[in-house]
Chains A and B, each alone.
Chain A
């Protein structure tokens, strides 16, 4: 009997020590990676110690949901692993455990996870809570990136037509339309626009758009002439490749309405481009957007002469 008691006490003590250790580790990681937002609730991050912030999230996905959001990031603005991509998954989870551990037990119990051991109880919580949140999760999915207000949330890129906000999901035809992600499989990626690198797709012959409406064999008359424009200030100079443009467009698309076909005859400005003129007629609407500065500003400037070098 005695032995059993000691064993039990020992076991529970060890358990305590273990959780305490996990706690200090979680705390350390929290301080390092999470505190800057979660202390004060920057960008609507759930605040440490704030039950009202955490309760709905726990109810929705349980501990698994929280782990997932912490590891993968969320469209609301939570970066993957809080932006510390080299943290091991276990450490990120420890930080989540630490944050949840700070909440009063009754908040945590909505996800039916005892506060001391949230990690173990998580699967139960998730399965128990499953039916309700799954139904609730869809409409609740954020449609705006609350951190970068005007940018697409990561989860909503290349949405299927029925969910893209412009197609009417009640319309039968909408369901027959292609899902962009299906069309983009295997195409080189980019960071903006359709998130497809169309120029590379064409160069690598991943897509073979027709040059003529009916004749699949017709080919473009390509002009391979690069125009380099020196740029004031510190931005790298701009290289305009005729090749990439004449492969897909006709000369008359740009000359002479947008640009005089004569070197130096056009006054180009970034302001005009942003207002949808000049390059901005296409770039920022259909062709890759102007957030991709370096695609155009690609020519390193000649190194400036140092004062000391001058005679």
Chain B
């Protein structure tokens, strides 16, 4: 069973088109719900935010778990000032009304970390 899963992951990683490898290192695609609800996937860039905030702000203060896809982020939460909405509230940064700045991903991209990451399950190593 586990073996099958590993193979699936391996195949999936091999089947990934070369394109996303051009993404900036550490870019995160969040697409647990967005596309099912008719929005483009969300792209979060670590490089952009780490120039402004230390990791601790998001990964301890705001409680983003360091495992892509493990946080169940809902748009309602964001508007209520949780997750991205802790900052994207029109106060620390622009507000949740700027849909297309966050929901800017190509359709069909799965949730995950992009940009030629080198650690994670079978595949690259």
Contacts and interface: CB of A to CB of B under 8 A. Distances in A.
Given A150-B21, A172-B100, A180-B24, A210 B119 contact: no
B22 interface: yes
Nearest to B119: A284
Contact of A284 (B27, B51, B66, B120): B120
A253 B62 CA distance: 12
Interface residues of B, number: 53
Contacts of A24: none
B116 A166 contact: no
Interface string B77-93: 00000000011000010
Contacts of B114: 166
A291 B116 CA distance: 12
A282 B58 CA distance: 14
A166 B23 contact: yes
Contacts of A172: 100
Contacts of A250: 56, 59-60
B40 A171 contact: yes
Interface string B10-34: 0000000011111111110100000
Interface stretch (A57-65, A130-138, A273-281): A273-281
B86 A213 contact: yes
Contacts of A68: none
Interface residues of A, number: 56
B105 A166 contact: yes
A226 interface: no
Contact of B50 (A209, A273, A291): A209
A289 B109 CA distance: 23
Contacts of B109: 166
A224 B20 CA distance: 38
Given A194-B24, A275-B119, A291-B118, A171 B104 contact: yes
A164 B22 contact: yes
B125 interface: yes
B53 interface: yes
A286 B120 CA distance: 12
B51 A183 contact: yes
Nearest to B113: A285
Nearest to A187: B51
Contact of B116 (A150, A178, A290): A150
Contact of B22 (A159, A194, A249, A285): A159
A198 B125 CA distance: 25
B20 A165 contact: yes
A212 interface: yes
B105 A210 contact: no
A213 to B, nearest CB: 5
Given A161-B104, A213-B62, A274 B119 contact: yes
Contact of B56 (A163, A180, A253): A253
Nearest to B51: A207
Most buried by A among B46, B48, B119: B119
A248 interface: yes
Interface string B103-115: 1111101000110
Interface of B: 18-27, 29, 40, 43, 46-48, 50-57, 59-62, 66, 86-87, 92, 98-107, 109, 113-114, 116-121, 124-125
18 contacts: A150-B124, A163-B22, A166-B23, A168-B104, A171-B103, A176-B101, A211-B56, A213-B53, A213-B57, A213-B86, A253-B59, A274-B118, A274-B125, A276-B121, A286-B50, A286-B113, A289-B25, A289-B119
